[in-house]
């Protein structure tokens, strides 16, 4: 089934075509018809499978067909998200597919001047994508009116319904009409959160696509046992050997992010960092730089990277294992998005083995162990020596298993030759 055969407006179809969206992904195939019918939907589908378009396309279609208009300050479709970056990213997806629809699409989030945002809301908007904090600020100041919301979307729904946000969501729902359509989207959801989601909607929820494998098949993910103090040498080596790739490195805390950045700087590797402690303009700038550079390294914490869609991230490195097992899925899911394939490697120190066990329990299966023999391990610590087998070999091996193109492998080989010749 092609998008061209869907019962959706030509204005949306035109944009889909312009952006090379020809066939729906599984979640789009299953969710779009139900949403078009007005049903409440809880959709659970793996990372990178196109959940954003799965709600954005039918939501916009419903807004177009209902034909209502937003009065000043009113919002017709409210999309709530956990982070500022995600608000901005989802805004651009709506704008991409809504370019010819005439729908007014705005995002609001904290950390930046609110004046441009209030100007955007002045005449009313069709779609507002917002983090809860800024949304309530704007509502309390009278800039935002939720009384005619027709569609409520919670993206990263499990996070939005978890203790940090649930009160905000309940509060928001108080101001939104009961006769609304509610859509929940996430890559991970547990029974408790599912029950909570059910309790927030009037109609029975219609859809659940629960993948057997929680990690997308496009992600080859492995774990290597590396002691805490040695991690930076391994990271250095991986980055230097994959100098032409876009690499996303996850660490546990803001402080760790800064430290790893400094350690990399000492060995000549420039890496951006993104975490909650940085101001918003800076975060956006770092993210854009990472998105636009052909090769780059970005160090991130969990909070700042949920849902982020950056095409071409070839490697995810879990420099530290995540504290929450489900965050493993969200982290490794930053690679292998859409039709791409990617590689994720976790550095597990002895003291992190209990976390690994939790992750494996959550996944329902063990994570493949990348074996590094003693000699290789020692050689990684002494980078000046020419290693026998190294990350490159191990990664090439994994790439071959994954079927990532030979052209790519060739490129890497060639590069290592130039490196050698430079050394001489
Ligand atoms: P999710 O929210 O499920 O993690 P996203 O909505 O961020 O995934 O989409 C992941 C990537 O897949 C995006 O870069 C998007 O442009 C691409 N994508 C989504 N749907 C399609 C499709 N039908 N055809 C081609 N690419 C798609
Ligand atoms: Mg998403």
Q: What residue spans define the domains of the chain? A: 3-208, 219-383
Least Cα distance to 245 among 290, 309, 305 occurs for: 290
Q: How far is CA 228 from the centre of its chain?
A: 27
182 lines ligand 1 (CB under 6 A): no
Predicted local distance difference test score (pLDDT) of residue 74: 97
Q: Is 15 in the pocket of ligand 1 (CB under 6 A)?
A: no
How far does residue 424's CA lie from ligand 2's centre (Å)?
47
Instruction: Retrieve residue 422's tokens.
Output: 């430079």
Distance 329 CA to ligand 2 centre (A): 12
Determine the topology of domain 3-208 in CATH.
Rossmann fold (3.40.50)
Q: Indicate whether residue 50 lines ligand 1 (CB < 6 A).
A: yes
Determine the Cα–Cα distance for residues 155 and 187; give it in Å rounded to an integer: 10
CA-CA-CA-CA dihedral for 368, 188, 21, 317, to nearest 10: -40
C-alpha 43/C-alpha 405 separation (Å) is 32
Is residue 53 lining ligand 1, measured as CB closer than 6 Å?
A: yes
Do 88 and 284 form a contact (C-beta atoms < 8 A)?
yes
CB atoms within 10 A of CB 365: 12
End-to-end CA distance of the chain: 57
Looking at the chain, the number of H-run helices and the number of E-run strands are: 18, 13
The answer to whether 283 and 88 are in contact (CB under 8 A) is: no
Instruction: Kindly state if the Cβ of 306 falls inside 6 Å of ligand 1.
Output: no
Nearest to 244 by CA among 359, 110, 126, 395: 395
Is 342's C-beta closer than 6 angstroms to any atom of ligand 1?
A: no
DSSP 8-state symbol, 50: -
Closest ligand to C-alpha of residue 52 is 1
Ligand 1 centre and the CA of 50: distance in Å? 3
- How would you class 133 by CB atoms within 10 Å of its CB: exposed for 0-12, middle for 13-18, buried for 19 or more? middle
Could you give the CA distance from residue 315 to residue 317 in angstroms, rounded to a whole number? 6
- Write out the DSSP string of 59-70: HHHHHHHH---P
- Where are any strands of DSSP class E within 251-321? 272-274, 296-300, 313-318
Give 235 Cα–ligand 1 centroid separation in angstroms. 29
315 lines ligand 1 (CB under 6 A): no
Contacts of 39 (CB under 8 A, 6+ apart): 181, 203, 206, 207
pTM: 0.87
Helix (H, G, I), strand (E, B) or coil at 263: helix
Closest approach atom of ligand 1 to CA 53: 6
Give the residue whose CA is nearest to atom 11 of ligand 1. 338
Other beta carbons within 10 angstroms of residue 413's beta carbon come to 11
* The pair of three-digit structure tokens given for residue 247, joined into one six-digit string: 């690499």
Among 216, 246, 248, 215, smallest CA distance to 25 is for: 216
Contact 338 CB / ligand 1 (< 6 Å): yes
Q: Which pLDDT score, from 0 to 100, does residue 371 have?
A: 82
Ligand nearest the Cα of residue 306 is 2
Closest ligand by atom to 329 CA: 1
Mark out the alpha helices in 175-253 (DSSP H runs). 191-199, 231-241
User: 215, 216, 217, 237: which is closest to 403 by C-alpha?
Assistant: 217
* Residue with token string 């030979």: 406
Instruction: Give residue 413's pLDDT.
Output: 36
Residue 305: predicted pLDDT: 76
CA 342 to chain centre: 14
Domains 3-208 and 219-383 are alike in CATH topology:
yes
Cα(53) to centroid of ligand 1, in Å? 7
The CA 423 to ligand 2 mean position distance, Å, reads 43
Residue 326 zone, left/alpha/beta (φ > 0; ψ -120 to 50; rest): alpha
Distance 360 CA to ligand 1 centre (A): 27
CA of 48 to the centre of ligand 2 (A): 7
Closest ligand, as measured to the CA of 1? 1
Which ligand is located closest to the Cα atom of residue 51? Answer: 1
Tokens of 252: 């546990």
Distance 293 CA to ligand 1 centre (A): 20
Blockwise average pLDDT, block size 10, the chain, 424 residues: 93 97 95 95 93 98 94 97 94 98 96 91 96 94 96 96 93 94 93 92 78 89 95 94 94 94 94 88 91 92 85 96 94 94 97 97 94 80 53 68 46 38 38
> CATH fold of 219-383, please?
Rossmann fold (3.40.50)
Tell me the C-alpha distance between 36 and 21, whole Å: 18
| Cα–chain center distance at 65 | 30
Of 94, 157, 99, 133, give the one whose Cα is nearest residue 307: 157
Residue pair 364/215 in contact by the 8 Å Cβ criterion: no
Tell whether ligand 1 has an atom less than 6 A from the beta carbon of residue 48: yes
Ligand 1 binding pocket includes 21 (Cβ within 6 Å): yes
Question: Among 64, 362, 80, which Cα is nearest to 214's?
Answer: 362
Element (H, E) at 91: helix 84-98
Closest C-alpha residue for ligand 1 atom 20? 50
Length of the chain (residues):
424
Angle at 362 between CA 358 and CA 368, to 5 degrees: 80
- pLDDT value for 310: 93
């Amino acid at each position: 089934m092609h998008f061209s055969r869907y019962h959706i407006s030509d204005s949306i179809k035109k944009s889909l075509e312009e952006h090379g969206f020809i066939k729906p992904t599984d979640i789009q195939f299953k969710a779009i018809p139900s949403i078009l019918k007005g049903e409440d939907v809880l959709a659970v589908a793996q990372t990178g499978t196109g959940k954003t378009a799965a709600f954005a396309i039918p939501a916009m279609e419903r807004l177009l067909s209902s034909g209502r208009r937003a009065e000043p300050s009113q919002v017709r479709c409210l999309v709530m998200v956990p982070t500022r970056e995600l608000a901005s990213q989802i805004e651009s997806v709506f704008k991409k597919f809504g370019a010819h629809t005439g729908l007014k699409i705005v995002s609001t989030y904290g950390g930046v001047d609110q004046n441009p945002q209030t100007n955007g809301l002045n005449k009313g908007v069709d779609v507002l994508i917002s983090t809860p904090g800024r949304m309530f600020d704007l509502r309390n100041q009278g800039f935002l009116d939720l009384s005619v919301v027709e569609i409520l979307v919670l993206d990263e729904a499990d996070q939005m319904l978890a203790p940090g946000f649930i009160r905000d969501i309940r509060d928001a729902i108080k101001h939104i009409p009961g006769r609304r359509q509610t859509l929940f989207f996430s890559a991970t959801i547990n029974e408790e959160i599912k029950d909570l989601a059910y309790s927030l909607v009037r109609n029975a929820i219609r859809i659940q696509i629960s993948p057997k494998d929680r990690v997308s098949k496009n992600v080859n993910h492995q774990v290597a046992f590396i002691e805490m103090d040695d991690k930076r040498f391994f990271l250095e080596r991986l980055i230097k050997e994959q100098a032409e790739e876009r690499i996303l490195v996850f660490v546990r805390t803001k402080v760790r992010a800064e430290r790893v950045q400094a350690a990399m700087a000492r060995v000549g590797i420039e890496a951006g960092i993104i975490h909650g402690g940085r101001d918003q303009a800076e975060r956006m700038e770092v993210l854009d730089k990472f998105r636009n550079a052909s090769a780059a390294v970005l160090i991130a914490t969990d909070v700042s990277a949920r849902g982020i869609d950056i095409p071409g991230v070839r490697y995810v490195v879990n420099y530290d294992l995540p504290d929450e097992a489900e965050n493993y899925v969200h982290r490794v899911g930053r690679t292998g998005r859409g039709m791409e394939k990617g590689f994720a490697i976790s550095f597990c120190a002895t003291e992190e083995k209990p976390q690994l066990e939790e992750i494996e329990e959550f996944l329902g299966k063990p994570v493949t162990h990348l074996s590094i023999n003693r000699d290789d391990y020692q050689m990684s610590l002494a980078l000046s020596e020419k290693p026998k087998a190294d990350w490159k070999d191990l990664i090439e091996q994994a790439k071959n298993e994954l079927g990532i193109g030979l052209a790519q492998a060739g490129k890497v080989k060639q590069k290592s030759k130039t490196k050698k010749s430079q050394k001489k």
